[in-house]
Every structure is written in structure tokens, then in C-alpha cells.
Amino acid sequence: MSVDEARAAAERAARDSYGRLLALLAAAAGDLALAEDALATAFEQALRTWPDSGVPRNPDGWLLTVARHRIRDVWRSAAHRTSAPLDDDVVDAAAADPLADVDPDAVPDRRLALLLVCAHPAIAPEVRTPLMLQTVLGLEAAQVARLFSVPPATMAQRLVRAKRRIATARIPFVLPDRSVLVERLPAVLEAVYGAAAATWRQDGRGLAGEAQHLAVVLAALLDDDPEAWALAALVTFALARRRPGPFVPLDEQDASTWRGDLIAEGEAYLRRSERPGVPGRFRLEAAVQAVHCDRRRTGTTDWSALRTLYLALDAVAPSLGARVALAVVVGRLDGPDAGLAALPPQPDPAFQPWWAARAALLVSAGRRGDAATAYRRAAELADDADVRTYLLARADDGPPAPTSPQISDPLR
Amino acid sequence: MPREIVMTTTGSDAPTADRPAAAPYPVDEVGTHGPQEDVMRYTLLLHYPEMSPEELGPEGIEYGQRAFTAYAATLQAAGVLVAGEVLQPSVATTTVRTVDGVLQVQDGPFADTKEQLGGTFVIDVPDLDAALEWARRAPSTDWGPVEVRPGALHTVDGVWMPSA
């Protein structure tokens, strides 16, 4: 087996099982940082030995076993350093290894327990989502820092402190009672949503699929939580429209290339989220996505349905993004001047979707010069290279584009 | 498993605001303590506004006594109680501290705040969720905050032992 093949196998294992293995190791050790170190050691060793020995039949089991030994070694050496004489009988493998009973052929999924540890009320709210993104989905600290517009060193320090706190205060890795589960759910939903948005444009790493999988697992576990099912629907619709390559705005996407199976799956989840009464934020966002996805079937977009949904979203969960999106819809229904009037005042700090929406509305209004300036400003603010390329191309466009303003879409 | 083998003296870190430089033992915060044992020691620190017996009245005093008696009995029955203290009001406190390099003895509490430390309960429970559940049931939660602090070390017959 070549080094490349070994690397590919390790990367597959990393993508598919990182969160699962980490959840299991952390639950046993009660210590996220130690579990991460042990898992990193296991992956390093895999890259070193698999090229010669071949990829094991069960890579997960192999990685788990190595990581487990690593944890035991750390415990053992800590004991040796500090207490002498040490009776060997005391440190027998079973006693020092709470993972001894785990069958490496059937690694149980403890990711939800890990998600709930990260969302524990004893963890500061602002670090819960970053912690989940790093541990459960395996995002690097630098990626998480970028997503939250925080310097990498600051984010790394927050993550280290949170992990230390989990170990020191001994936050348990368990699935809590239903009542507690419901209490802690909003933070978990928020993190999964954040994960989907963060990973959306990353090609070839499967993280968008992983975020969707997590959303569905979470909803299935909770069974009857409407917002959990709505989030599963939202993320699934977004996955259905996902395509690699250059950025193409929603309006200009060829709906026939969207995946019908995933749209049907999303619609099924959305039906499970339906309840009498006021819909939640994720149900409204999922309904917005459902309206867009319906273009695959009908060939048109129901703009007035979108207006109703964005007005409701602005009432239930006001956000700058929703108001910008509403202005775009208004522009579509009532003309660009009405759209520009509906746009909220220029936000500070600058908000990329606001500038992109304004640019597109100005194009529709025939104000090419102003539009080019706004497109350039939007391009400056874009953190995605493909989006930047698209916006700059628009700024240099000659005739007005035939299409209308872009909907602000967190899951592009 | 005996506590000795999970003791660690490595990873000693710098003194922090809430831990004196001369801690009896370096404490490893990073958590490489070893496999979790069944229990972990937490101290519940009950803070509440101080009220004189006159302000409380006979009924208030009796209510407080009943509540604390019931709470201690419940902790004892659950097998988690290590120690409980109800403290005299902070006017009875004397504080020893260094002022300008000179060790001084002064009347009054360490911090002059509306809520004062009024009592402590030391409990042995499996994890933070269990400790929080007991804190929720403390009789003083209506009057002030309860701080839940994991233990690092405690003495047994004069010898320091890890609390987890």
C-alpha cells in the first residue's frame, strides 16, 4: 500500500469517525483535551504504520485501541511520577481502562452526549458552538476562529479553557433526562446550524454531509422536537442544492441539478416539524428553503410566500440577515425602489449580504455606477474566494444582469 | 482503586487570583488525574444577605433552622454529606491579611458585600450535574447564590489527598 493510499484511508477515517471516536474516548476519560491528544497520536501512528502493514480491516477499532493505550500510558506515567512505591497490581489494565469493555468492532455513537457536554450551562455560551464545531465535527481551531471573526490565538485559548473546565468541574458525558435535554437543546441546534453554515463551501471534506447527519441524528433522538426536525429539514434542503465549483447565486442555479432525493427527505423532515401555533425560527428558515427548492418541480419561485415567511421570521427571530433577505424579496415583488427602501440602514460593522443586496437592487434600478461601488464593497467583505470572484465580476459587468437581487442565504 | 495512584504533582501552574501561591500541594488543573473514580468532592458555598435575629423574627429563625436541618438530613440520608457548616454573621469575622508587607489582624470580613458567605456543605457526588442538583435544593437559594466549587485536595488524618 502506498503512502497516498494510507493517507487517504486515514483521512476517510478522520472524516467519518473523528467525532465518534473522540466522544467515546472523552466520555471514558472525562477529559476532552486528553482524548484529543490520544486520538491525534493514533492518527499519527496510522500514517506511519499503515503504508507498510496495510490498512486494518477495521480502522476505527485500530485507532480506538491505539488511543486507548495512549490514555492509559498517560495515566500510568502520572501515577509513576507521583506515588511510590506503586503496586503493579493496582494498575491492572481493566481498572485503569474504562474502555476495556468497548468492542472495537462496534463503536457506539456517543456524539450526542458530547454535544450536550459542550452545551452544558457550566460552559460559557459564547464558547459552546466553537467547542462543538471543533470536537464533534473535527473543525480546526483556526477555521472556527474565522467563522466567529475572532483572532485564532484568542479562540484557541477559549477552547483550551473550556476543555480544562469540563475535566476540572467534571461535567458528565451522559445523555441527561428528557427535561434537561430540552433545556439544553437550543445551544445544540445553534451549533449544528453553525456547523452547516461554516462547512458549506468546503469542497471535498464531507463536513456538510456530516452536519446534516448530526442534525438528523439529533432530531431522531428527540423524536418529537419540532425545531430539531426543522433544522434537519433546513440543512437537508441546503445539502440538496450544494454544488462544488464557482459560486452561482441561488436565482441562477439550474434547479434540475438539485438532488430530488434530498429535497424529498427535507420535505419529510419539515412535515415532522409541523405543529399548531407559532412556528419557531428553524421551521421558518426551513420553509424558506422549501420554497426555493420547489422551483425544481414548478420552475418558478413563490415570492409572496417568501415575503410572508421573512416577515414571520423577523417577528420570531429578528436578524439583520432576515431583514436584508426581506428587502430583496420586496424588491422582487414591488420593484427595486421599494426594495432599497426596505433595506435596513447601513449596518456597522459592515455586513456583506447588505452590500450585495444593495448592489443587486441598484442594478435593477438602473444605477450601474452605484451598483459597481456596492459590489466592490461586498467583495471586500466576502470571506469566500469564490463569492469574491463572483461579486467582482458583477462589479465589472457591462449591461445589467437579467436576474434580480440575491437572497441572503446562510447556506449558499 | 486507592487514591494515591491518581495523584499527580506535575503540571504545577502559576498562582491565580483565587489560589494562593503557597498552596499545600501543586494542583494539576489540566485533568490528567486518571480514570474517574466514583465520587468527586464539591463544596457548596451558600451566600446570602445577613439579617439580624430581630429582622428575621422568631418565625424566620425557625423556618431557617427547619430548612437547614431537613437539608442536612437529606444529604446524610443520600450518603453524600461529608461536612456542613453554618457560620456566625460576618460581624463576628476577623481577617488576617498582609497590608504593606506587614501581617495584620483586622475586624470584619474579607469582602464587604451585601451577600456574605453564610454556610458551606461538602459533598461527595459522581459529577457536576449531581452537585448542581444538590445546590438547587439548598435552603438559601431563595435569598442568594450558591457557588459550586470542585475540590482539588483535602486532608485525611493530616495528609493531603486528591478530591477526585
3-state secondary structure of A119: coil
Q: How far is CA A74 from the centre of its chain?
A: 32
Q: What pLDDT band is residue B2 in, cutting at 50, 70 and 90?
A: very low
Q: Which sign, positive or negative, has the C-alpha torsion B97, B100, B104, B110?
A: negative
Q: Classify residue B150 by its DSSP letter.
A: E
Q: What pLDDT band is residue B28 in, cutting at 50, 70 and 90?
A: very low
Cα–Cα separations (whole angstroms), residue A123 to A116, A119, A152, A163, A175 = 10, 7, 20, 9, 17
Q: In this structure, which long-range contacts are made by residues B63-68, counting pairs with CB atoms below 8 Å and at least 24 apart in sequence?
A: B64/B139, B67/B139, B68/B119, B68/B139
CA atoms within 13 A of residue A43's CA, in its CB half-sphere: 19
Question: Which residue is associated with the grid cell 449580504?
Answer: A353
Residue A74 has its nearest CB partner, among B32, B126, B150, at B32
**Number of H-type helices and E-type strands within chain A:** 20, 0
CA distance A164 to B12: 14
Which of B152, B124, B127, B123 is closest to B138 using CA atoms? B123
Higher-pLDDT residue of A303 and B25 is A303
CA distance A281 to B25: 51
pLDDT of amino acid A97? 60
On whether the CB atoms of residues B75 and B84 are closer than 8 A, the answer is yes
On whether the CB atoms of residues B90 and B116 are closer than 8 A, the answer is yes
Task: Sort out which chain B residues have CB atoms less than 8 A from A33's CB and list them.
Answer: 30-31
Q: Do A78 and B10 touch (CB under 8 A)?
A: yes
Residue A33 has its nearest CB partner, among B1, B31, B126, at B31
Q: Classify residue A57 by its DSSP letter.
A: S
**Looking at chain A from residue 59 to 98, which residues have their Cβ under 8 Å from any Cβ of chain B?**
74-75, 78-79, 81-83, 86, 90-91, 95-98
What number of residues does chain B have?
Answer: 164
Which of A86, A60, A61, A64 is closest to A75 using CA atoms? A86
B161 in contact with A, Cβ within 8 Å: no
Is the ipTM here above 0.95?
no
B144 in contact with A, Cβ within 8 Å: no
Which of A182, A139, A186 is closest to A159 using CA atoms? A139
One-letter amino acid at B17 equals: A
Taking all residues of chain B, what is their mean pLDDT, rounded to a whole number?
A: 80
For every residue of A72-116, DSSP letters joined together read HHHHHHHHHHH-SS--GGGG-HHHH-TTTT--TTS----HHHHHH
On whether the CB atoms of residues B86 and B69 are closer than 8 A, the answer is no
What the block records as the C-alpha cell of A273 is: 416539524
Which of B108, B101, B164, B99 is closest to B131 using CA atoms? B164
The values of phi and psi at residue A266, to 5°, are -60, -40
Q: Average of pLDDT values for B29-48?
A: 71
Question: What stretch of H or E contains B159?
Answer: strand B159-162
**Looking at chain B from residue 51 to 70, which residues have their Cβ under 8 Å from any Cβ of chain A?**
none
Q: Do A170 and B10 touch (CB under 8 A)?
A: no
The Cα of A381 is separated from the nearest Cα of chain B by a number of Å equal to 39
On whether the CB atoms of residues B3 and B161 are closer than 8 A, the answer is yes
3-state secondary structure of B148: strand
Kindly report the CA angle at A375 between A374 and A377, in degrees rounded to 5?
Answer: 65
What the block records as the C-alpha cell of A120 is: 452544558
Q: Do A172 and B8 touch (CB under 8 A)?
A: no
CA atoms within 13 A of residue A276's CA, in its CB half-sphere: 0
**Looking at chain A from residue 99 to 128, which residues have their Cβ under 8 Å from any Cβ of chain B?**
120, 122
Q: Classify residue B1 by its DSSP letter.
A: -
One-letter amino acid at A277 equals: G
What the block records as the C-alpha cell of B61 is: 429563625
Exposed/middle/buried for residue A172 (C-beta within 10 Å: 0-12, 13-18, 19+): buried
Task: Sort out which chain B residues have CB atoms less than 8 A from A34's CB and list them.
Answer: 31-32
B30 in contact with A, Cβ within 8 Å: yes
Residue B35 has its nearest CB partner, among A86, A96, A120, at A96
CA distance A382 to A347: 15
Residue A172 has its nearest CB partner, among B29, B33, B128, at B128
pLDDT of amino acid A105? 66
B30, B40, B161: best to mutate for the A interface, most A CBs within 10 A: B30
A288: left (phi over 0), alpha (psi -120 to 50) or beta: alpha
What the block records as the C-alpha cell of A293 is: 427548492
pLDDT of amino acid B141? 93
A220 in contact with B, Cβ within 8 Å: no
Question: Which residue is associated with the grid cell 431557617?
Answer: B64
Q: What is the pTM of this model?
A: 0.70
A81, A86, A168, A174: best to mutate for the B interface, most B CBs within 10 A: A168
Q: Which residues contact B95 (CB under 8 A, 6 or more apart)?
A: B105, B106, B107, B108, B109, B110
Q: Is the peptide bond before A125 cis (omega within 30 degrees of 0)?
A: no
Q: Classify residue A401 by its DSSP letter.
A: P
What the block records as the C-alpha cell of A183 is: 433545556
Task: Sort out which chain A residues have CB atoms less than 8 A from B7's CB and list them.
Answer: 79, 82-83
CA distance A36 to A278: 42
CA atoms within 13 A of residue B155's CA, in its CB half-sphere: 4
Q: Specify which residues B19 forms β-bridges with.
A: B16
What the block records as the C-alpha cell of B118 is: 453564610
Higher-pLDDT residue of A341 and B28 is A341
Task: Give pLDDT tens digits along chain A (412 positions).
Answer: 566 766 666 555 555 578 888 989 998 888 889 999 999 899 889 888 888 888 888 888 888 999 999 988 888 877 655 544 444 444 444 445 656 666 666 667 788 888 889 888 899 888 888 898 888 877 788 888 877 778 999 999 999 999 999 989 999 988 887 777 877 888 889 878 877 777 665 544 566 777 787 788 788 877 788 999 999 999 999 989 988 778 888 888 999 999 999 999 999 999 999 999 889 999 999 999 999 999 999 999 999 999 999 999 999 999 999 999 999 999 999 999 999 999 999 998 899 999 999 999 999 999 999 999 999 999 999 877 888 999 999 988 755 454 555 555 545 4
For every residue of B33-101, DSSP letters joined together read --S--S-EEEEEEEEEE---HHHHHHHHHHHHHHHHHHHHHHHHHTT-EEEEEEPPPGGG-EEEEEETT
CA distance A410 to A200: 9
One-letter amino acid at B148 equals: V
pLDDT of amino acid A91? 45
pLDDT of amino acid A1? 56
Higher-pLDDT residue of B78 and A174 is B78
pLDDT of B4 strictly over 70: no
Task: Sort out which chain B residues have CB atoms less than 8 A from A77's CB and list them.
Answer: none
Higher-pLDDT residue of B37 and B103 is B103
